[in-house]
Amino acid sequence: MITKIPTLDCSSAYLAVEQRDTPDSMPPSPNPDASRDFIQIYRSDPQAVHAELHAGLLAEQPAVSPKYLYDALGSKLFEAICELPEYYPTRTEAAIVECHLADIARAAGQGVTLIDLGAGNCAKAARLFPALRPVQYVPVDISVDFLRDAVCRLRQQSPHIRMIGVGMDFSASLELPDAVGQERRLFFYPGSSIGNFPPEQAAALLRRVREACGPDGGLLIGVDLLKDRQTLDAAYDDALGVTASFNLNLLLHLNRLIGADFDLRNWRHRGCFNEAHGRIEMHLEARRETRVSWRGGARRFLAGERIHTESSYKYARHDFLQLLERSGFGRIQTWTDERGWFMVCHARVR
């Protein structure tokens, strides 16, 4: 059953959370001894990575998984994107959480094991600590070095919370280490990252989360809602060009990973809303005909030909709630901003 919660009607909350999400705002000297509480599951398999990228670049519609956007520089560029005036999701979600934090805490409960999927710099989860008072915080991210540094810094801020960083690709598996608490697990998946997956893959991921929750767990998730095309297009193609740099940096990452020879001067960023599919698409478009080679492969790209690098699906409210229910969640509570641009949901296992 879906429980409706009144929408946000306190625009002052938008100003209350204007703070930086970057690790630079945290204490500068991490504790090196804290590394013993970091478990690295994900280890890059160069051959598998090469095979995946080789196949994607040679596909009829060339494509590269968005996970390759997040090397060390890409992670920092994404932090910068979150500060842009056009990029509404981060500040809108933060405002919703700030305004309804007490209600969220009542729904989720205190003393949980807080498992932060795609934790990045851990700043979003840290804002929940005072209200949720987690007994354990478990940030999970594929960007291992970036996460390790963020966890070390955060430990200095919240030494009373047990923290275990987990470097893993949770999109492939959610088998968490034994050191992660089994009871009262609360999975936190903010930023509408669920939108990076096509609906069928999103449903599969949510089912894995449901399984990992155990009998008494829950999910706190942020989801971007459908809105006017102009707002969506601007959010993924900002005037300053930070999103373009973020996307183009992928080519530098590919050069390192598979020995490619992409020349950034031959490519440009394209980000726009695909209304037929209900998603924002990011592409890299060849400015002119260009030949790119890499270890064991090559391709000639015609002028205007594109490499698809990311999709971000936007949901109607009722469609996403149905997706949660089909994935095994119930007792759903929702909070939105006054414009209905973004939604935060808490759901319990059924």
Give the rounded distance of the alpha carbon of 174 from its chain centre: 16
pLDDT by residue (tens digit) across 72-117? Answer: 899 899 999 999 999 999 999 999 999 999 999 999 999 999 999 9
Q: What is the pLDDT of residue 142?
A: 85
pLDDT of residue 27: 39
Q: What percent of the chain has pLDDT over 70?
A: 90
Q: Give residue 224's pLDDT.
A: 98
Dihedral of CA atoms 58, 248, 119, 51 in degrees, nearest 10, equals: 20
- Sign for the pseudo-dihedral over CA of 327, 176, 89, 242: negative
Q: Is residue 291 part of a domain?
A: no
Better-predicted residue by pLDDT, 325 or 4:
325
Distance linking the first and last C-alpha atoms of the chain: 10
Give exposure, 66-94, as e/b (b: 16+ Cβ within 10 Å).
bbbbbbeebbbbbbbbbebebbbbbbbbb
333 bridge partner residues: 3, 346
Could you tell me the two tokens for 290?
A: 């260009």
When pLDDT is cut at 50, 70 and 90, the band that residue 36 belongs to is low
Look up the domain containing 328 and give its range.
2-25+36-41+83-227+316-349
Task: Report the DSSP beta bridge partners of residue 306.
Answer: 285
- For residues 273-288, average pLDDT: 97
- Indicate whether 273 belongs to any domain: no
Hey, which residues does 189 pair with through a beta bridge? 221
* pLDDT bracket for residue 349 (50, 70, 90): very high
- Residue 71 inside a domain? The answer is no
As a whole number, mean pLDDT of residues 147-158 equals 92
Question: Tens digits of per-residue pLDDT, 329-340?
Answer: 999 999 999 999
| Sequence-distant (≥ 6) Cβ neighbours of residue 107 within 8 angstroms | 333, 346
pLDDT value at position 24? 37
pLDDT at 6 over 50: no
> In angstroms, rounded to a whole number, what is the distance separating the alpha carbons of residues 17 and 322?
30
CA distance 162 to 137: 6
- In this prediction, residue 31 has a pLDDT band, given cuts at 50, 70 and 90, of very low
Number of domains in the chain: 1
pLDDT of residue 137: 98
∠ CA 163-207-164, rounded to 5°: 10
Q: What pLDDT shows up at residue 240?
A: 98
Q: Output the pLDDT for position 343.
A: 98
Identify whether 210 is part of a domain: yes
Residue type at position 261: D
Side chain identity at residue 53, one-letter code: L
Residue 55 inside a domain? The answer is no
Query: Is 245 contained in some domain?
Result: no
pLDDT band at 3 (very low <50, low <70, confident <90, very high): very low
For residue 63, the 8-state DSSP code is B
Is residue 173's pLDDT more than 90?
no
Residue 30 has pLDDT above 60, yes or no: no
Is 167 a member of any domain? yes
The CATH number for 140's domain is 3.40.50.150
Does 48 reside within a domain? Answer: no
Q: pTM of the prediction?
A: 0.84
pLDDT by residue (tens digit) across 182-203?
A: 999 999 999 999 999 999 999 9
pLDDT of residue 43: 80
Residue that has been written with the tokens 């809108």 in this structure: 92
**Range with the poorest average pLDDT among 25-34, 178-187, 318-327:** 25-34
Contacts of 270-278 with C-beta under 8 Å, sequence gap 24+, read: 270/237, 270/306, 271/233, 271/236, 271/237, 271/243, 271/247, 272/233, 272/236, 272/237, 273/229, 273/232, 273/233, 273/314, 275/229, 277/311, 277/313, 278/226, 278/313, 278/314, 278/315
Alpha helix positions (H), 109-181: 123-126, 129-132, 144-157
Burial state string for 315-342 with b = 16 or more CB within 10 A and e = fewer than 16: bebeebbebbeebbbeebbbbbbeeebb
User: If pLDDT is split at 50, 70 and 90, which confidence band does 218 have?
Assistant: very high
